[in-house]
Amino acid sequence: MEWGKKMNYVDLLIRGSDKTNSIVCMGADPVLERIPIEHGSTEAKITRFYEQIIEACKSEGALPAAVKPNYAFYAQYGFEGLDALKKVCKLVKKEGIPLILDAKRGDIGKTSKAYAKEVFDFWEADCVTIAPYMGTDSVMPFIEETIGKERGVYILNRTSNPGASDFQDIEAGGKKNFEWVSDSIVKWADTALGNVGAVVGATSMQELEAVVRAFVESGKQVPLLIPGVGAQGGSAAEVIAALKKAGYNLKIARINSSSGINYAYEKQGTDDFAGAAVKVIKELNKEIGGL
């Protein structure tokens, strides 16, 4: 680190992409019925599943550039699931790649502050997804926890789910709601430059390019978490084309695939779930191309 330079999440992302030569983010969303490990407790099955995938990625030189556990997929199994989450978080931290806790938190100020402490101090996540619906006093406690640190927040901006248009596409004051959120993300970024990012789905290239162009024109580095690739049908190649067209720094983006990687063995017709996951990551890396 340069003398006098403040640490930020962008630095961690760039180191992660340099280390792995990738910008793929692997979602880690356990569904017990789809985990082909017969024996052991819920905690043991989930932990071994991701441990074997990560080990296979390492041995094949295909470690993802970030891992994103979705909190709800662990919490559904009670304390055993949460114990597994703690172990998965430690596995990822050990590899020195960004750990993104997909928790989608957001509440009144005091509650958000408590959630932020849980995310960064207990789970030891490097970054968290948050919802902006309740406004600035809901968002700022998370951002404040990142100041001067290699921590970040990804704010839900334009999501990839089918119902996203219900509210995100409503027009007010000449803009759609998701565009107002983009503007707010740029303003909130002033508090912790390099730590405030956006979740923008891969299911509409036109909207993705418009949002990214606004970030680039702001002159601020806004990390992107891009879901919707793989099982949801988005194309990594199309995403990269849109990012390049907007003049975006690819190394601070993370293109996420969850079930498309986790349960690739089902589609490939093999029992080697770890090898199948590695194969998909390699395919995504090839589709993305050079950084």
Contact 62, 285 (CB under 8 A): yes
Size of the chain in residues: 291
Express each pLDDT in 157-215 by its tens digit.
999 888 988 999 899 999 999 999 999 999 999 999 999 999 999 877 888 998 999 99
DSSP 8-state code for residue 249: -
Nearest one of 168, 249, 242 to 216, comparing CA atoms: 249
DSSP 8-state code for residue 191: G
The type of residue at 245 is K
Q: Does domain 9-288 have CATH number 3.20.20.70?
A: yes
Q: Tell me what the mean pLDDT of segment 285-291 comes to.
A: 91
Residue owning tokens 């909190």: 71
Apex 133 CA angle, 132 and 138, nearest 5: 60
C-alpha dihedral, 65 to 245 to 200 to 10, nearest 10°: 40
Higher pLDDT, 5 or 30: 30
Higher pLDDT, 276 or 210: 276
Contact 111, 137 (CB under 8 A): no
pLDDT at 3 over 50: no
With cut-offs at 50, 70 and 90, classify the pLDDT of residue 7.
confident
- For the question of whether the overall pTM of this predicted structure is more than 0.85, the answer is yes
pLDDT at 5 over 70: no
Which SS3 state, helix, strand or coil, does residue 257 take?
Answer: strand
| Enzyme catalytic residues | 104
Provide the pairing of β-strand 171-172 with 175-176. Answer: antiparallel
With cut-offs at 50, 70 and 90, classify the pLDDT of residue 2.
very low
Integer-rounded Cα radius of gyration of the chain: 18
How many helices and strands (H and E) does the chain possess?
Answer: 13, 10
Residue 234 is predicted with a pLDDT of 66
pLDDT at 22 over 90: yes
